[in-house]
Structure 1
Amino acid sequence: MHTGLVHSLDLERDGKVLDYLSMPFSIDRSPYFQLKVPVCVIRNGTGPSVLLMAGNHGDEYEGELSLARLIRRLDPAQVRGRVTILPMANAPAVMAGKRCSPLDGGNLNRAFPGDPKGTPTSRLAHFLEKELFPRHDVVFDIHSGGTAMEHLPVALIERDDDADRHRHTIALMKALGMPHGFIADNGAAAPTSLGAARRAGVVGLSGEFGGGGTATVDSMAITARAIDNLLVALGVVQTPVLGGQAAAPEPMRLMSLTRHSQGIYASRRGWFEPAVRLGDKVTEGQIAGWYHDLERLEAEAEELRFAEAGIVISRRLHTMCEAGDCLVQAAELVGEA
């Protein structure tokens, strides 16, 4: 069946190949235009098969830069098995510096399982879930808070009904070397890459590695550490490639974010001033920040308070807000992984 996507990759051939996933999509300036998504396959004999992807959202740069570096550094002689790398999965969004694709408005991480006859984002999602994910043992999708948010570094997995696979997933999540972990319960029909990995019968890993539409020394270091630790833990490589391998400073702490009351959301246009930092422990009723109305200068700023205790896991970076914007979230600590 035509998948709406073409490529010439041979996933079983040894060596290193940098190629493209191509999707025909007519646009005003180019009626026979093809969207090109770069992909690199590095294979050396039999062994584990891992898919590393970033740029699911275009303005999340830690993974994009790290995987671009990995493509340049990783030699097939270092590899046992196969590493497939998608450094900018939603390529139009990456090039536009936006969360979603400017071609079709597509949010790739809400597009799975996709449609082979749909928009480019939908066709890519279909190809990933139906064709590419099932040919790997592990899928690692690297995220961050993007332009609008800063996010506490945290590993992320989906709860899996397959007990053996779930135990293996938790073990690999711990191996990433992140200070915090997060187990989501979005269900089997989740439209995310982790939902797609689960439906494909493979281990799905993800995480948030920074934010703000930038890359910092710290966010790049923890991203490199996670990639190196995963490849070493799987036995794909014997030594770190990006120079980031290190043990977590302490046992991974598991967090939960399942209730609307764990976040504070704007109900009208305003300007948010935070009173807390990422990683702060907060109590019920503690001030989270102030909401200013610069269109009514005589009005006092509204005090915003946490409805529940927890650890600040994310906050909005843009001071100006509209109704519906998430301003800050406090996750619940639920134990150690």
Structure 2
Amino acid sequence: MHTGLVHQLDFDRDGRTLDFLSIPFSIDRSPYFQLKVPISIIRNGDGPSVLLMAGNHGDEYEGELSLAKLIRRLDPARIRGRVTILPMANAPAVMAARRCSPLDGGNLNRAFPGDPSGTPTARLAHFLEKELFPRHDIVFDIHSGGTSMEHLPTALIERNDDAERHERALGLMRSLGMAHAFVADNGPAAPTSMGAARRAGSIGLSGEFGGGGTATIDSMAVTARALDNLLLAAGVTDEAVLGTPPSQGVPTQLLSLTRHSQGIYATRRGWYEPAVRLGDRVAAGAVAGWFHDLERLDMPEEPLFFAEAGIVISRRLHTHCEAGDCLIQVAEPVEA
């Protein structure tokens, strides 16, 4: 009654199901409160099994809005297999427009493998890794830069020691039709959804699709195209559901982000002014921006320099900064 996660889902039922994952969690205003996480299952017989999720962080909207559309538009009669959709996985964070859950401070993408007797975030992570992910061939978790960051659209997979599964993941990642992509190597114990998908035996795909705590025409278009392309590549559908033309032969530049020296971090309170844009190629020693101290107007702004060459992939959107804030990052282009 007071721990765990409960549901009444039938994963083998054909048609469209719209229901909730329920997590008991007593709060001040409601002692028998249950956190409700919406979930949809759309199934038509045997075939591929794909899990699509967004709202892992609550202030990343491209995936949330796109998956809400997909729930309404995906016709069970026109698919093969099963598509499970979690449009707002960290539901309390989505409703609060925050990165982390206001119920327990939980960052879902750092909570895996979770704990069935822990906080709501830990219980959800445990259910996803132990119960939901293993039911699916593919897990696609959609992210963006959130409220504080702007991010170059990039796809992501985790390196897999199984060569055949790794090649399958690479092929699916390229099928998304995104110009840039990462192969991350966070190790077998990674607390992320991609680490969880790998431990569950699924092929995990993720990516960053925008940022700024908003949805734009461009960020929604790249998200819709990636979803349509993935469902086509997985063999679930024969045509685009969200109305985007499939990408044909779009080259994907692989990137590497493995060193702290590829980022610039604030070391004190200040105000950051950028000198470059997302996607720019920069050299080591190039000016990344300027750090202002508006409490010391007699002091000139401090130029900041890239320690490494690469492609600018993210930058902080909030001009005001505190010590430890990441201001900008570059990734290194690598050969396939």
- The TM-score with structure 2 as length reference comes to 0.98
Q: Distance in 1 between matches of 2:217 and 2:57?
A: 21
SS in 1 for 2:334: strand
SS in 1 for 2:335: strand
Equivalent residue number for residue 272 of structure 1: 272
Alpha-carbon offset, residue 110 of structure 1: 0.1
Partner of 2:260: 260
The equivalent of 2:106 in structure 1 is 106
CA deviations 1:175-230 (Å, max 9, x no partner) are: 00000110001000000000000000110000000000000000000000000000
Residue of structure 1 in register with 2:308 after alignment? 308
**Residue type of the alignment partner of 1:49:** S
Q: In the alignment, which residue of structure 2 is the partner of 1:134?
A: 134
8 Å CA contact 2:178–2:250 kept in 1: the answer is no
Matched, 1:326 2:322: no
User: Which whole-Å CA distance do the structure 2 matches of 1:158 and 1:326 have between them?
Assistant: 23
> Structure 2: which 5+ residue stretches go unaligned?
none
8 Å contact kept, 2:149–2:211: yes
Residue 199 of structure 1: aligned partner: 199
Shift in Å, 1:335: 2.1
In structure 2, what is the Cα distance between the partners aligned to 1:310 and 1:248?
27
Q: Does 1:75 align with 2:72?
A: no
Q: How does 1:62-211 map to 2 (within 5 A)?
A: 62-211=62-211
What secondary structure sits across from 2:332 in the alignment? strand
Distance 1:3 1:74 in 2: 34
CA distance in 2 between counterparts of 1:151 and 1:175 reads 20
- Determine the C-alpha separation between the residues in 1 that align with 2:244 and 2:158: 25
- Judged with a 3 Å threshold, the aligned counterparts in structure 2 of structure 1 residues 97 and 318 are, in CA distance, closer, same or farther, namely same
For residue 225 of structure 1, what is the aligned residue in structure 2?
Answer: 225
Residue 299 of structure 1: aligned partner: 299
Q: Which residue identity does 1:184 align to in structure 2? A: A
Classify the secondary structure of the residue corresponding to 1:42: strand
Number of residues of Structure 1 aligned to a counterpart in Structure 2: 335
Q: CA RMSD in A?
A: 1.0
Residues 179 and 248 in structure 1, CA contact (< 8 A), matched pair in contact too:
no
Question: Per-residue CA shift, 1:129-161, capped at 9, x if unaligned?
Answer: 000000000000000000000000000000001
Q: Give distance in 2, aligned partners of 1:334 and 1:43.
A: 39
* Compared CA separation, residues 203 and 245, structure 1 to 2 (3 A): farther
Residue ranges of structure 1 left out of the alignment (5+ in a row): none
Q: Secondary structure at the match of 1:177?
A: coil
TM-superposed deviation, 1:248: 5.8
Flag as ranges the 4+ runs of structure 1 deviating above 4 A: none
Rounded Cα–Cα distance in structure 1 between residues aligned with 2:131 and 2:3: 9
Aligned partners of 1:111 and 1:125 also within 8 Å:
yes
Q: Which amino acid in the other structure matches residue 261 of structure 1?
A: S
Q: Aligned to 1:335, what secondary structure does the other structure show?
A: coil
Which structure 2 residues correspond to residues 1-16 of structure 1 after superposition, within 5 A?
A: 4-16=4-16
In the superposition, the TM-score normalised over structure 1's length comes to 0.98
